[in-house]
Amino acid sequence: MSAPATDARTAHVAGVERLLESYRAVPPAATVRLAKRTSNLFRSRARTAAAGLDTSGLTGVLAVDPDTRTADVGGMCTYEDLVAATLPYGLTPLVVPQLKTITVGGAVTGLGIESASFRNGMPHESVCEMDILTGAGEVVTASPSEHADLFRAFPNSYGTLGYAVRLRIDLEVAKPFVALTHLRFHALAELVAAMDRIVETGQLDGVAVDYLDGVVFSADESYLCVGVQTAASGPVSDYTGQQIYYRSIQHDEGRKDDRLTIHDYLWRWDADWFWCSEAFGAQHPLVRRVWPRRYRRSSSYWKLMRLERRFDIGDRLEKLHGRPPRERVIQDIEVPIERCAEFLDWFLANVPIQPIWLCPLRVRDDDGWPLYPIRPHETYVNVGFWSTVPVGSTEGETNRMIERTVSELEGHKSLYSDSFYPREEFDELYGGDAYRAVKERYDSDSRLLDLYAKAVQRR
């Protein structure tokens, strides 16, 4: 073991001890939360004055093993730091969520997805084992053979069954460049059919596909973005400057080729938070010239959005212009691929939000995952949409309408944002019986929040 890896593990052990000390300091009746400077959650929650758990020692990469193609990381290690540690070995995580500040522990307990998910599933499916701080105040090592019930229920539990302290994850070989082909479609059904063929065959025009996602701008303008890793050198594009990645996808007919380094491909969405940077003026050519590159990233936009929410700036501006307040519709949902075009047609007819992100996925594990019970080895499509709409006559009217439609189409939605399900339906969708059994075993005193309380009641 190298000296840097040894030093990292020593620092991690000290960090775990600080975490446990901070846990013991929380009064028995107080709510337990992590002390985090950043977050990728968008649901509202009650304010609390309670001090959070000290996670400052859990942010590092402990070791990268190029022989076994694994990495050991702290639960609060960001994918930005993890990728920086693995790329020198020509390796990457099997799935790298789109935003740099997403943590490995967060992507596992809260789910994650990206353009490799059609072949590699979700981030938690590449976890070999993890150390988890449970509600009982103990750190246990969970794996497919040890504390397997906790290991399997942890994905989609959002910290209500415990917090990941350390994770060992599988890595895969990565070539230095990604050749991109952007395919235009004039009908959504044609795009979905082409996506289905690529997922089933793993190929486009006889060439193996490594990455696949898509963007819908309107009913008659949509694109599949097909990525193929390559070692061949050549000119590459840069979307961290004046050029904007999602705008580069658009063209009139047929196909358009592009090329990025593997590093820039993995973070292609981060510089403009997909397309949401437009809300802060960051896509205006004049503003973009003076906006420092180091602040042109999702973490900066998140801080701006947090300020907006704190002072209700958006609603104040709407009121100033004589318009009603707006409802946040920030969601990712999954529907079976055979229902995808149906959902998109409905969404475009009922929700005034574009563009829309598409990402196919397949859960690889034969047994599935109890708290997110989508069928293994069947193709689903993640549909992401992130904006606001005018408020309706009831709280969360548009979000509730989306929830009903997704359920009717045999889909699910992610729980990182506002949810409105009644308890019975929530339990049916998110493994209520399995969840309660694991909750009772590892957090019998309910020191951690209940999943329904956290995801829907927003405590």
The b/e string for 148-169 (b: 16+ C-beta within 10 A; e otherwise) is eebbbbbbbbbbbbbbbbbbbb
Domains in the chain, ordered, with CATH?
3-174+442-455 (3.30.465.10)
Q: How far is CA 381 from CA 67, 279, 340, 355, 430, in A?
A: 34, 26, 7, 16, 18
At a CB cut-off of 8 Å and minimum separation 6, what does 402 contact? 329, 331, 333, 347, 351, 413
pLDDT value of position 6: 75
pLDDT value of position 273: 95
pLDDT value of position 40: 55
pLDDT value of position 368: 84
% of the chain residues with pLDDT over 90: 83
The b/e string for 205-230 (b: 16+ C-beta within 10 A; e otherwise) is eeeebbbbbbbbbeeebbbbbbbbbe
Of the candidates 404, 394, 405, 400, the residue with the CA atom closest to the CA atom of residue 417: 400
Q: Residue 157 in contact with residue 165, Cβ under 8 Å?
A: no
Q: Which H or E run includes 327?
A: strand 326-336
pLDDT value of position 41: 61
Q: Residue 58 in contact with residue 74, Cβ under 8 Å?
A: yes
Q: What is the DSSP letter of 431?
A: T
Give 61's pLDDT tier (boundaries 50, 70, 90). Answer: very high
Per-residue pLDDT averaged across 248-268, rounded?
97
Q: Residue 239 in contact with residue 293, Cβ under 8 Å?
A: no
CA 209 to chain centre: 22
pLDDT at 58 over 50: yes
Give 44's pLDDT tier (boundaries 50, 70, 90). Answer: low
Half-sphere exposure of 275 (CA within 13 A, CB side): 16
At a CB cut-off of 8 Å and minimum separation 6, what does 110 contact? 40, 41, 156, 158, 414, 415, 416
pLDDT value of position 39: 57
Backbone φ and ψ of 152, nearest 5°: -80, -30
pLDDT value of position 200: 97
Q: What strands, in cross-sheet order, belong to the sheet with 255-261?
A: 255-261, 177-185, 221-230, 211-218, 356-361, 380-390, 326-336, 412-413
Q: How far is CA 299 from CA 38, 80, 100, 304, in A?
A: 7, 12, 8, 9
Q: What is the DSSP letter of 220?
A: T
Lowest mean pLDDT among 37-41, 308-312, 372-376: 37-41
Rounded CA-CA distance 319/81 in Å is 42
pLDDT in tens, 135-183: 999 999 999 999 999 999 999 999 999 999 999 999 999 999 999 999 9
pLDDT at 99 over 90: yes
pLDDT in tens, 182-235: 999 999 999 999 999 999 999 999 999 999 999 999 999 999 999 999 999 899
pLDDT value of position 31: 79
pLDDT in tens, 395-450: 999 999 999 999 999 999 999 999 999 999 999 999 999 999 999 999 999 999 99
Q: Residue 154 in contact with residue 121, Cβ under 8 Å?
A: no
| 3 state DSSP class of 188 | helix
Mean pLDDT of the chain: 93
Backbone φ and ψ of 72, nearest 5°: -105, 130
pLDDT value of position 185: 98
Task: Name 390's bridge partners.
Answer: 326
